[in-house]
Amino acid sequence: MSRSWRSGSSSSFASSALSAPPSHPPQHASPVDSTFTPTSAAISALTADPDLAAICLLTPRLSRKLFDRTPNEMTVYLGPWEIVGANPRRLLWQCSYAGEVLEHFLPSDNPNELFPHTLHAQHRRFGDPREMELYLSFQEPHRIRYTTTDGIVHDEYIEVKYEFTTIEGSIQLQSDIRRRDLIDWFDADVVWSDTDRRTDSYGSVRGLGTIQRIKLWRDRYSTFHYLTFYANHRRRWKEYLLDDFDTDFRQRDDRHKRVQLGARGARRGSASESNQGRGQSRRPSIFSRSSRNNNPPAANGNTASSSAQSALDIRYLGIQFSRNPNIQAGTDDTRFAPALPRVCSPMNLNGLAINGPTVILSVNAGSSSVKVSAYTAEQGQSPIQIAEVQVSGLTAPPASLKYERGGKAIVKNREVDDQVNDQRDAFSLILKTLVEDDDLHGIQTKDDIGIICHRIVHGGDYTKPQLITNGTYHHLENLNDLAPLHNANSLPIVRLCVQDFPSARNVACFDSQFHSTIPEHIRTYPINQDIARRGRLRKYGFHGISYSFITRATAEFLGKDPSDVNIIALHLGSGASACAIKGGKSWDTSMGLTPLAGLPGATRSGSVDPSLVFHYASDVGKLSPASTKDLHISRAEEILNKQAGWKALTGTTDFRVIAAAATTPSKDRDPTPSNDLDPNPSNDPDPDPDPDPTPSPTITSSNDPDPQKQDQSQNHRLAFALLVDRISAFVGAYYVSLHGRVDALVFAGGIGERSAALRAAVVEEVGCLGFGLGEDGGVNGGGVGEGEGAVVVDVGRGGGGGEGAGLGGRPRPRVLVCRTDEQFEMARTCAEDAEFW
């Protein structure tokens, strides 16, 4: 980001309210002052966050319009910030150049008296409604002091308008200024109440304000929630503690999207009266958890109860939601259209406790499949699976559905191509299957589902699962481009759940979070570190939910504590990766900034020379025609993510076909796997038998006389050998990086669990490191399909691993197959975390 100083011409800015800026940029050492050391907790959590790169538009004092560019306007690029001092409290911005600081003096020392202001979407009819949150201003002029190495360039009261590059940055700043977290907002046409004696154009109601954005805040030091409105005819903000309202609506008119909340307690009572009322006569409220929590008083002296300073001066609060056609048009946009149900349904907020057992639904949208498992669960207990449905083959038609209830196969490989085009369709069909099954007693109606956990592949810097709120949702949307085969397919499912399950809590579980332990020297790319930090360009790693499951399951199998195990784990499915797990934690993994890096996958190239793509096609920097409103991918990303991998080599994404053709003389078998519907599903203990039961590590040559078939089988052999080579290279590298202290090589994922041929070929390749299969090639000794529910099966030499046969006199490392279960891992994590109950 470069700094822009403009003056003179009609297209340039420099504020007349400021003293004249220099006519050329000051020559400072570096565009980012690397010596800046933020001190507050807020800032230290944020320093690495490029979202903080904000633009502050300093406009002359009396300008009321945002974006109204006068000839003398000046733009200063900002970020990150720190809030310092008391009396006066200041927002201290780091700027682009060393020695350049912008100080924003906050007019009140009480954070609760400050209401940063953003627009209602109606103000910009044709813009994306979300963008309104990018522009932040304040009702009254504030003092701004701007200092460069030339001294104080500006120091006076002006209207301050910040323009953020991301919504998260804007939300975070608003939250920091107020010391309350902004957790949601709703566009409303009018908010009315019986205060202020005003009738507005909607009838005989007395209004607080019209056309605005209502904001929902949560106190940082308690779980109290507040709503803020702008009473625009009085030019003043109103804030109400949500607890002051009945959760039942006294009036609700869906046609007009109006709600009316009845206020509890005495009207026009004092704060203390209303607090007393809250303590004595009220029914338990949706936010009563906060009073049970015994939250400590805040450092600034704001106790939970004192923060309820707004005296209850109304009897009711009415809200009419926006009817702006631009907003309504995005009916699948959870942020705006369903504002009414979201207010009606406080479960979407963080205050509601789920009491007793509930049903957890775990949704795993992979690149070629959607797998959903349902569990009955109690807080702190291991969830018990009641059903599992999956639609697979989304990239290798025909897509097929499998349904298991209570461990029994109910539907086996039913073709569903006519009903399913993508992950969202697959999820809808899965839901229908679950809800319409009368014998699935745990789920009689959708309301039985209390928690829905979603596997979100790219979680950026999140290190633990998150309740899905607008803030989280926006954040994840911004990561879509980094995981185009995944996040972009998961978020429509999240939206559908938020809309269709108003009484459920939606939780995002991240594939990347397990890898937050990767050390810096491994996760860092050797590029300019300022740019890397700003763009958060580093190795993230994926399949972490699976690796977390694998780590626990393997440790249990080996009878060790998870913190004592060293594993080389291979998750091999449509997306394939390897992970070095040291002391139970991720030490390195093959995927990187995106799931494209590392091993090749069904449609992904894996790691290639980064220059390759420029030689592949000339227009690779252009936006791909496959880009959508929500997902922007370049041609290069499209080619490497979707037009590469085994699909590019063989024409199929079905690895069964590849493995069968590559390892068996083609005359003898038809490599097409069958997907028959089982007429009697209950008598098959293994609904997914391995179609390549005779593994051969030796890749055979085809003797089919048909040259086309010969070519094809050569392609399959090439794809198979290439994958074996790449996997083995990672096993070797990780063996070294774990200094040879490896308890086990673990295979998992659709291919790792089911393709004995692939396992055999890999183990043979890495045999020099002491790995070896059982005499039967690890098939009969415990193919996972025959494991009768065993989660981990030892397919290694001698079953027990054999002592002393490994390198350097160490025990021979095991070779295990783990039936990984990402859905269970998510359900388990959510069941354990009190925040989600």
Ligand X SMILES: Nc1ncnc2c1ncn2[C@@H]1O[C@H](COP(=O)(O)OP(=O)(O)O)[C@@H](O)[C@H]1O
Catalytic positions: 511
Q: Which does 802 bind (CB under 5 to 8 A by kind): Mg ion, ligand UVW, ligand X, none?
A: none
Q: Which does 458 bind (CB under 5 to 8 A by kind): ligand UVW, Mg ion, ligand X, none?
A: none
Q: Give, as one character, the DSSP assignment of residue 561.
A: -
Q: Which does 457 bind (CB under 5 to 8 A by kind): ligand UVW, Mg ion, ligand X, none?
A: ligand UVW
Per CB under 6 A, the list member of 93, 230, 542, 547 interacting with ligand UVW is 542
Identity of the residue numbered 122: Q
Give least dist CB 402 to ligand UVW, A: 16
Q: Which does 654 bind (CB under 5 to 8 A by kind): ligand UVW, Mg ion, ligand X, none?
A: ligand X
Per CB under 6 A, 412 contacts ligand X:
no
Binding site residues, Mg ion, CB under 5 A: 366, 573
Identity of the residue numbered 648: A
Per CB under 6 A, 575 contacts ligand UVW:
yes
Per CB under 6 A, 590 contacts ligand X:
no
Cα–Cα distance, 302 to 293 (Å, whole number) = 16
Query: What does the angle CA 312 – CA 317 – CA 321 come to, to the nearest 5 degrees?
Result: 150
Tell me which stretch binds ligand UVW (CB under 6 A): 300-308, 446-454, 568-576, 578-586: 568-576
Q: At 518, is the secondary structure helix, strand, or coil?
A: coil
For ligand X, which is the closer residue by CB, 480 or 653? 653
Tell me which stretch binds ligand X (CB under 6 A): 90-98, 551-559, 568-576, 797-805: 568-576
Residue 705, judged by CB atoms within 10 A of its CB (0-12, 13-18, 19+), counts as exposed
Per CB under 6 A, the list member of 214, 227, 467, 751 interacting with ligand X is 751
Per CB under 6 A, 690 contacts ligand X:
yes
Q: Where are the beta strands (DSSP E) in 727-811?
A: 744-748, 792-794
Per CB under 6 A, 573 contacts ligand UVW:
yes
Residue 11, judged by CB atoms within 10 A of its CB (0-12, 13-18, 19+), counts as exposed
Could you tell me which of 820, 782, 801 has the C-alpha nearest to residue 742? 801
Cα–Cα distance, 129 to 125 (Å, whole number) = 8
Give least dist CB 795 to Mg ion, A: 21
Per CB under 6 A, 505 contacts ligand UVW:
no
In angstroms, the Cα distances linking 308 to 117, 279, 555 are 21, 13, 49
Site for ligand X in 320-349 (CB under 6 A): none
Task: For 238, list phi and psi in degrees, rounded to 5.
Answer: -120, 140
Give least dist CB 815 to ligand X, A: 17
Give least dist CB 639 to ligand UVW, A: 17
For ligand UVW, which is the closer residue by CB, 394 or 779? 394
Burial code (b: 16+ CB inside 10 Å, e: under 16) for 228-238 equals: bbbbeeeeebb
Cα–Cα distance, 541 to 297 (Å, whole number) = 39
Q: How is residue 451 written in tokens?
A: 């928690």
Per CB under 6 A, the list member of 89, 495, 543, 812 interacting with ligand UVW is 543
Give least dist CB 364 to ligand UVW, A: 7
For ligand UVW, which is the closer residue by CB, 290 or 368? 368
For ligand X, which is the closer residue by CB, 242 or 791? 791
Q: CB neighbours of 776 closer than 8 A, spacing ≥ 6?
A: none
Residue 545, judged by CB atoms within 10 A of its CB (0-12, 13-18, 19+), counts as buried
Tell me which stretch binds ligand UVW (CB under 6 A): 25-33, 374-382, 570-578, 707-715: 570-578
For Mg ion, which is the closer residue by CB, 21 or 573? 573
Residue with tokens 């019209």: 210
Query: What does the DSSP assignment read for 215-245?
Result: EEEEETTS--EEEEEEETTTTEEEEEEGGGE
Per CB under 6 A, the list member of 505, 534, 754, 759 interacting with ligand X is 754
Contact assessment for residue 514 and residue 544, using Cβ atoms and an 8 Å cutoff: yes
Per CB under 6 A, 573 contacts ligand X:
yes
For Mg ion, which is the closer residue by CB, 169 or 573? 573
Cα–Cα distance, 769 to 738 (Å, whole number) = 12
Give least dist CB 395 to ligand X, A: 8
Q: Are strands 505-510 and 466-467 parallel, antiparallel or unpaired?
A: antiparallel
Per CB under 6 A, 539 contacts ligand UVW:
no
For Mg ion, which is the closer residue by CB, 144 or 485? 485
Cα–Cα distance, 494 to 492 (Å, whole number) = 5
Residue window 644-683: x/- pattern of binding to ligand X, with contact defined by CB under 6 A:
---------xxxx--x------------------------
Q: At 208, is the secondary structure helix, strand, or coil?
A: strand
Residue window 234-263: x/- pattern of binding to ligand UVW, with contact defined by CB under 6 A:
------------------------------
For ligand UVW, which is the closer residue by CB, 424 or 543? 543
Could you tell me which of 103, 317, 77, 306 has the C-alpha nearest to residue 193? 317
The residue with its CB nearest to ligand UVW is 575
Per CB under 6 A, 367 contacts ligand UVW:
yes
Task: Determine the size of the site formed for ligand X (CB under 6 A).
Answer: 22
Per CB under 6 A, 224 contacts ligand UVW:
no
Q: Give, as one character, the DSSP assignment of residue 537.
A: -
Contact assessment for residue 759 and residue 817, using Cβ atoms and an 8 Å cutoff: yes
Identity of the residue numbered 222: S
Give least dist CB 389 to ligand UVW, A: 16
Q: Are strands 54-59 and 101-106 parallel, antiparallel or unpaired?
A: unpaired
For ligand X, which is the closer residue by CB, 21 or 606? 606
Per CB under 6 A, 454 contacts ligand X:
no
Q: At 63, is the secondary structure helix, strand, or coil?
A: coil
Contact assessment for residue 782 and residue 797, using Cβ atoms and an 8 Å cutoff: no
Residue window 388-407: x/- pattern of binding to ligand X, with contact defined by CB under 6 A:
----x---------------
For ligand X, which is the closer residue by CB, 209 or 671? 671
For ligand X, which is the closer residue by CB, 305 or 653? 653
Residue with tokens 């963008």: 131
For ligand UVW, which is the closer residue by CB, 335 or 543? 543
Cα–Cα distance, 230 to 233 (Å, whole number) = 9
Could you tell me which of 374, 369, 357, 424 has the C-alpha nearest to residue 397? 369
Per CB under 6 A, 794 contacts ligand X:
no
Tell me which stretch binds ligand X (CB under 6 A): 152-160, 559-567, 721-729, 746-754: 746-754
Cα–Cα distance, 16 to 26 (Å, whole number) = 19
Residue window 349-388: x/- pattern of binding to ligand X, with contact defined by CB under 6 A:
-----------------xxxx-------------------
Identity of the residue numbered 45: A
In angstroms, the Cα distances linking 53 to 69, 143, 296, 556 are 21, 21, 33, 46
Q: Which does 754 bind (CB under 5 to 8 A by kind): ligand X, Mg ion, ligand UVW, none?
A: ligand X
Q: Where are the beta strands (DSSP E) in 254-406?
A: 258-263, 316-321, 358-365, 370-377, 384-392, 400-405
Residue with tokens 């490989």: 413
Per CB under 6 A, 453 contacts ligand X:
no
Give least dist CB 571 to ligand X, A: 8
Give least dist CB 273 to ligand X, A: 58
Q: Which does 472 bind (CB under 5 to 8 A by kind): ligand X, ligand UVW, Mg ion, none?
A: none
Cα–Cα distance, 279 to 291 (Å, whole number) = 9
Binding site for ligand UVW (CB under 6 A): 366-367, 457, 486, 511, 542-543, 573-575, 595
Binding site for ligand X (CB under 6 A): 366-369, 392, 573-575, 602, 653-656, 659, 690-692, 749-751, 754-755
